[in-house]
Structure 1
Amino acid sequence: MTARRALALVAALCALATLVLGLVVANRAPGALDTRATDVTGRLSRPLLDVLVLPTEPYLLIPAIALVAGACLFRHRRRDALLAVAGPALAVALNTWVLKPLFGRMKDATLAYPSGHTVSLVTVLVVLVLLARPKLVTTLVAVFLLCCATIGLVGLGYHYLTDVAGGVCFATFVVTGMRAALTPRLAPAPSTG
């Protein structure tokens, strides 16, 4: 399987997961998993939760996007720079203006599914995982930041755990789908006989 097809498959699976999870949680009270996660994380101190949610803040994410895009442009990787900027922008716009109203899940009088905080963070993290090297180290750091942000978002009561899961799936769908679309097709090898 080519890298382009693998990315397209990941994108399709994440889109499906976003849709299915959204249909499950839309217009319903939080389930046992959401309630338990909120209870456990809500016991942590407010200052710790505030620190854990920092990776989702625009004043950190926007400079990170600019740095990644700038590094890509410096290395003459225009497609990667486009991915670094357009991936997060498209994901946040679609999430805010299409998905949240579509699913209509509310938390404290605010549309909550998928989590916009999570979409913002995960789009940047997926871009980094796709572009950076070494991939293992980048992936481990990304997973760590996502776990911290999840604890913070749920503990502070901004989102339910399923909102965060939906945000992860949707952000991954947008970035991997865009990466698949931006990856040039390999020319078929000439026939030898």
Structure 2
Amino acid sequence: MNDGTGSREPTSPGRRRFLISTALSGAAPMMGRIGPAEAAETGAPPAVTPGAMPTMAISLTVNGRTHRLDLDPRKTLLDGLREEIGLTGVKKGCDHGQCGACTVLIDGRRELSCLTLAAAAEGREVVTVEGLAAADGTLHPMQQAFIDHDALQCGYCTPGQILSAIGCVQEGHAETADDIREYMSGNICRCAAYPNIVAAVADARARMEG
């Protein structure tokens, strides 16, 4: 310590030990981190960045094609389809399973891709709106019915509406207009094109079953 005359008092042994232990404890985490190059030389495992998550290899079958990906195991099917495969017809709306814009078909049944982990879809058949048309460009009956009945306005919810409608028909829940309204209620249309959507689903059901 400075006594006011410019000279310093010698540090006491107890204070010296405290300062040394504090310096060592602060340096210990830094000394314990070993980078990849050092790890290769010493044989020690490289340090893992806090918060980092290792990836996992998965295989997704989407629209009849197999995609082999290395993904964060926490990644949703929605983000995997959009960011990794480039299928942006799957829309991110609420990201909480409340609007239906991200609906896809998995093994023929409609599911919300924002609530489904990509890894959970491995070994299953995923269909997005990009996979509905025939190879010659002929639209799926549900796609054509939405056009014929003008069952869209801004179009953002339309891919999810169409896939949910196909699932609704295949589940046997589109026999009446009331059934369609009930079993399509999870798909929100902010433009309120609901009457035309109901008409389109009823029309497409007849085409699909006929």
TM-score calculated relative to the size of structure 1: 0.30
Judging by fraction of residues, say which structure has more helix. Answer: 1
Greater Cα radius of gyration, structure 1 or 2: 2
Q: Which has the larger strand fraction?
A: 2
